[in-house]
Structure 1
Amino acid sequence: MDWLEIHRGTAPLIISLPHTGSDIPDELVGGFVSPWLATKDADWWVDKLYAFATDLGATTVRTRLSRSVIDVNRDPSGASLYPGQFTTGLCPRETFDGEPLYRMEGPDAHQIERRRRSYFEPYHVALRDEIARLRRQHDRIVVYDAHAIRSTVPSLFNGELPNLNIGTNDDLSCHPALTRAVEAACDAGAFTRVTNGRFRGGWITRHYGRPEIGIHAVQMELACRGYMDDPDKAPDPTTWPSAYDPQQAEPLRATLQAVLMACLTFAETPSPS
């Protein structure tokens, strides 16, 4: 499956990259209004931003497919992660800005099920396999779900999003000691931070986080302005996505390195009582 990328490390840390893809299968391209709209809400360049993680011994699991094809960070049952708030589904029909993604009505139940079996399930089989492999080697591991989003998306949140948004589903997906360690690493830098704010963790964080059996899951949602130019008004094909800026990204990368080191230190320390 050339759309599924797995790098196996030996450290007790898995980086999940569910939204960094922009590929669309040839047979589906014609159904979308445009390829730009179908990739507009990608977590742009997050895989580049975290490229250093493999040097730390981390395992990475990434899909190259656009989240508009299938969102592997949504509950496959269709249940909303944020009841009462706007969110996109397993096969989104509109962008974060409310623009229709499809020329017609979009995929029906049969087509959604086909995509779930073809793309959603293999991603999670891979993720489960890597979790099981590392748990056989370590008493506890951290599953770190890496995301990013534009700093201003009125349909999702008010105002400008903090730079660093930690999600642990109110500490249900990991031990509070890990939350505090990640917060400390974030607060040592020059970036704004919130924990369990608008983004409390997606389906991956909530589904796989089982601290009672040694699997601790954390989501990190970044504001894109930390590593690329982030438009202050509705983006269009001439302004979005902007290029990855290594110089702009360097301070954020340093903070993220500290965050991942905090995750590793937590995982390698005897379990707290």
Structure 2
Amino acid sequence: MKVVSGFEDSPAFDVLTPTRRQLPFVFNSPHSGRSYPSSFISASRLDAAAIRRSEDAYVDELFEWVVSLGAPMIRAHFPRAYLDVNREPYELDPKMFEERLPPYANVRSIRVAGGLGTIARIVGESQEIYRKRLPVNEAISRIESIYKPYHRTLRRLLAETHVSFGYAILVDCHSMPSTIRNPDGGPRPDFILGDRYGTSCSAVLVEAAMESLRAMGYTVSRNKPYAGGFITEHYGRPAKGLHALQLEINRALYMDEGSLKQHDGFTALSRDLHEFVKDLMGIGGNIFEAGAIAAE
């Protein structure tokens, strides 16, 4: 955890940009931020360990080498507990705020009901974040100053990639608690791939991703229990050459979930992910020629 005075002087997010783009990929790490505003910490009833339970800890580090392959990566520095850009811009819980929310707020979504809206109410096992209700302008400020610039930047990266290659593939990188069980009753999956049940991404891409990971010895599930959030659903438009795939990684593969520290598996996993991305580039198979995807 890094404590910052705010995001006026400390960047809320950044983009790792290659010298030359060589891949039709954009990587996104929206939940691995670990810069916590001091005012947010003061407003929370949780200690430092508890408030970090919703972090996709170190996911940005697992993928930062993609820049050396020629693909950009956008990564959040703000924590998910502070603002979740994998939600609609105004999925807000009226019970969290002192004043009435604006009429355009989505107050009835399933995610809001679960306490996990754009401004989250809980982390981990239903642990309430805040000591008291927030002013509505606090939520609006986070959305206007961070959420909207983040999505403008992501849209720009995807548009530039699409222009350069004729199509673009967004890999939305996340991690999940090791307690997640395989929906078919088997052992916990190492990875869950989400394509919004076939609507956000080419089937060629998803099947190749599953095959690559399984060939390395990993267990893989598809869409259950994570089919992809707002980012996957919003940016995945396969008919227009825009493909979005959510990748969930079991945290036990690379970190101690109690101490939130990396363990020896981190290096091996990062190495395997490097091979995984190379597989998706088409090395050894050339499966991602623009014509091959367009022909589905």
Q: Give the TM-score taking structure 2 as reference length.
A: 0.80
1:244 paired with 2:262, answer: yes
Summarize deviations over 1:84-115 as a string: whole Å, max 9, x none.
9946111111112111111113x343321111
2:213 to 182, 186, 191: 186
SS of the equivalent of 1:190 reads: coil
Aligned to 1:102: 130
Larger RCO (CA within 8 A; separation ≥ 6): 1
Rounded to whole Å, the distance in 1 between the matches of 2:173 and 2:86 is 11
Aligned to 1:260: 277
- How far off its partner does 1:164 sit? 0.5
Unaligned runs of 5+ in 1: 231-238
Alpha-carbon RMSD across the aligned residues, in angstroms, is 2.6
Residue type at the aligned position of 1:53: V
Determine what percentage of the aligned residue pairs are the same residue: 25
Summarize deviations over 1:110-150 as a string: whole Å, max 9, x none.
32111111111111111011111111111111100000122
Structure index of larger Rg? 2
Aligned to 1:2: 11
Aligned to 1:54: 67
Q: Which moved more, 1:108-117 or 1:174-183?
A: 108-117
- How far off its partner does 1:82 sit? 5.7
Rounded to whole Å, the distance in 1 between the matches of 2:109 and 2:188 is 19
Rounded to whole Å, the distance in 1 between the matches of 2:222 and 2:154 is 25
Contact kept? 1:142, 1:267, Cα under 8 Å: no
Aligned to 1:147: 174
Summarize deviations over 1:144-188 as a string: whole Å, max 9, x none.
00001221169xxx9964110000001100111111111111111
Quickly say closer, same or farther: Cα 1:145–1:99, change in 2 above 3 A: same
Contact kept? 1:151, 1:160, Cα under 8 Å: no
Contact kept? 1:13, 1:263, Cα under 8 Å: no
SS of the equivalent of 1:30 reads: helix
Residue type at the aligned position of 1:263: L
Q: Give the TM-score taking structure 1 as reference length.
A: 0.86
Rounded to whole Å, the distance in 2 between the matches of 1:89 and 1:161 is 26
Rounded to whole Å, the distance in 2 between the matches of 1:2 and 1:77 is 22
Quickly say closer, same or farther: Cα 1:109–1:267, change in 2 above 3 A: farther
Rounded to whole Å, the distance in 2 between the matches of 1:3 and 1:46 is 16
Rounded to whole Å, the distance in 1 between the matches of 2:88 and 2:245 is 17
> Would you say how many aligned residue pairs link Structure 1 and Structure 2?
261
Aligned to 1:35: 48
Residue type at the aligned position of 1:4: F
Residue type at the aligned position of 1:24: Y
Rounded to whole Å, the distance in 2 between the matches of 1:63 and 1:160 is 31
